[in-house]
Amino acid sequence: MSAVQSRQTRIKVLYNSTRVSVYVYNTLTQQKELFEPWAPPQVHMYVCGVTVYDHCHLGHARAYAAFDLVRRHLEYRGYRVTHVQNFTDVDDKIIARAQELGVAHEELTRTYEDAYFAAMDALGVNRAQDYPRATQSMPQIIAMIVRLLDQGYAYEVNGSVYFSIAHYAPYGQLSKRDRKQMEAGARVEVDTHKKDPLDFVLWKPQKAGEPAWDSPWGLGRPGWHIECSAMATAAFGPRIDIHAGGQDLIFPHHENEIAQSEAATGQKPFAKYWLHNGFVTLDKQKMSKSLGNVFTLRELYQRYDPNLLRFFLLRVHYRHPIHFSTTQIEEDAAALKRLSQAAHEFTQPAPEAMHAEFQAQFDAALDDDFNSTEAMAVLFNACREVNKLKKGGPLLSKLAKQLGLDLPKEESTLDPRILELLKQRAQARAEKNFMESDRLRDLLKQRGVLAKDTPQGQKWERV
């Protein structure tokens, strides 16, 4: 046995000896299923990435914070997750924006790729191991289209290539839509070359002023759907464990991915588990650029700490819609503050039995389809117990860290002048100069800070 084989055997033995039951909701089957990847403990996870023509918004943050939690928990449970997430860097929107700004499309996309990383790094989203780009995947894209043509799943007309849904019987298996629903839901351009209105484009010929690549059908560029199929199979082969994205991608994007991937490779299923996150809403409407009700992360970070936004996004289960409001953000800020104060005030470890009980409850919540809502409830139950016993702050920090959250020490956010007044008051108390201590307490209260004397020393909170 080689050294590599020996190591893999040891990993499998360790995994099997510590195996737990994680359940995930699979959009394909519309039920929760025991998570059993193809080759445990290895997990291949492909997440649909952003189209890089503008700054990321709160809807993007919802998706990537959710699937970051999925990855974190699977790794916590002993799986080795290989996470691949693409960039769509050639697209009608990108071309239009680049022309509007008078810049090359490559310059535009690199600018917004950098902006994506800055925004997600601040949000605590772990970087994927690989970020394939459509423009760097043309050989794989063209090769997949050639296979689809050779096998009779696609046809070519005047430099355009289309996938024929008539030749793929399971079409609609993910979205569970009938033909009329699919025709209503698909954003189908008027195209007299199609044999069927639901047929979708795999390759389109170049238009004047557009970037293009050479192909057997002439200069052109790929359709959106084929890009992800080619990049996912290039990364992982014909089958993957988890394919994830927003609910708006179920149809037509993910439906089309399944059809062209399984038709090209001959293997089913393309993805064993399909995970989709719910929308962010504002005034009961989905946030979208077309409605003009989108908050970019760059704008939100000027008003709110990214750690607070992550807390806001994870307090609701990833499959459910989440409503954005300043009132909710303020309530979440107060809740996060309570956790942080308890974590830093009561620094003695929790009793072993208490620690074990809350840890088990917390883990069980995340084992149940990554239920961050229930995990948060456990975290706040633990916080109440910590405040009652006046010990166990490290437990709160540990549980929060599993969600990718920080519990910052509040003093670091105070104005230095306030910190100096707190220092002077603590010194006055130590010298038993109670008149000066009371004066400074009143002054602090006027400035929005309530100083309190406890057996552990001076504490404070905002008022």
**Which pLDDT belongs to residue 7?**
47
CA distance 457 to 266: 69
- CATH fold for the domain made of 322-410: Four Helix Bundle (Hemerythrin (Met), subunit A) (1.20.120)
Is pLDDT at 342 greater than 60 in this prediction? yes
Give the DSSP H or E segment for 458.
strand 457-462
Q: What is the dihedral of CA 430, 436, 442, 443, to 10 degrees?
A: -100
**Which pLDDT belongs to residue 189?**
53
What is the overall mean pLDDT for the chain? 91
Domain-wise residue ranges, the chain: 37-277, 322-410, 415-462
Give the side-chain half-sphere CA count within 13 A for 274: 21
CATH assignment of 37-277?
3.40.50.620
**Which pLDDT belongs to residue 448?**
76
pLDDT tens digits, residue range 59-116?
999 999 999 999 999 999 999 999 999 999 999 999 999 999 999 999 999 999 999 9
Tokens of 149: 């043509």
Is pLDDT at 457 greater than 90 in this prediction? no
CB 383 within 8 A of CB 396: yes
The 3 state secondary structure assigned to 2-15 is CHHHHHHHHHHHHH
Fold: same for 37-277 and 322-410: no
Establish whether the linkage from the previous residue to 238 is cis, with ω within 30° of 0: no
Q: Which residues does 262 contact at the CB level (< 8 Å), separation at least 6?
A: 168, 170, 268, 269, 270
Q: What is the DSSP string of 177-234?
A: --HHHHHHHS-PPP-TT-SSTT-EEEEEE--TT---B--TT-SEEE-HHHHHHHHHHH
pLDDT tens digits, residue range 170-206?
999 999 988 887 877 554 455 668 999 999 999 999 9
Residue 42, beta-bridge partner list:
39, 80
